[in-house]
Amino acid sequence: MDIRALHNEADYDWALSEVAQYFEAQPAKGSAQADRFDVLSDLIEAYERRRWPIEPAEPLDAIRFAMDLKGLTQTDLAQLLGSRSRASEVLNGRRSLTPAMMAKLHRQWGVPADSLLRALDAA
């Protein structure tokens, strides 16, 4: 198998060109070509993660995004957090998220924990 580590942009471009061929003609599952595609894809993903890391969203941005995505309102947040004033204060940045609030937002609404935990860094 012609695969090598991705150390620089030239290696990255090579790997991208190699996987591009598989988008037009998908290899048979379990074949050597399918394995090659998987390995190259993993190498590309690892290189991109190292080269261009993406920081988690700010907590309020993550909450607002989840609300927009799921069609939830401030009233829904109030029900989740226990009061209208608490929801308002959280959304306006006047109240910090508690660990219990973070757990509810993550478990019940699917707000990414790494975003919510950024609130602890700011405190």
Average pLDDT of the chain is 94
Same domain, residue pair 98 and 76 = yes
Domain count across the chain = 2
Same domain, residue pair 93 and 65 = yes
Residue 115 included in any domain: yes
Under the banding of pLDDT at 50, 70 and 90, the label for residue 123 is: low
Looking at residue 42, what is its pLDDT?
Answer: 96
Residue 4 included in any domain: no
Same domain, residue pair 73 and 106 = yes
Degrees (nearest 5) of the Cα angle 20, 26, 29? 130
Looking at residue 122, what is its pLDDT?
Answer: 62
Rounded to whole angstroms, the Cα distance separating 20 from 13 reads 11
* CATH number, domain with residue 83: 1.10.260.40
Query: Is residue 61 classed as helix, strand or coil in its secondary structure?
Result: helix
Rounded to whole angstroms, the Cα distance separating 39 from 37 reads 6
- Residues 14-59 pLDDT 10s: 999 999 999 988 999 999 999 999 999 999 999 999 999 988 999 9
Over 70: is that where the pLDDT of 69 sits? yes
Residue 1 included in any domain: no
Same domain, residue pair 63 and 39 = no
Same domain, residue pair 41 and 64 = no
Tokens of 82: 């226990």
Q: Give me the sign of the Cα torsion angle 41, 118, 58, 9.
A: negative
Same domain, residue pair 86 and 112 = yes
Domain around 43: 9-51
Residue 72 included in any domain: yes
Per the CB < 8 A criterion, the answer to whether 11 and 5 are in contact is yes
- Residue 116: how many other CB atoms lie within 10 Å: 23
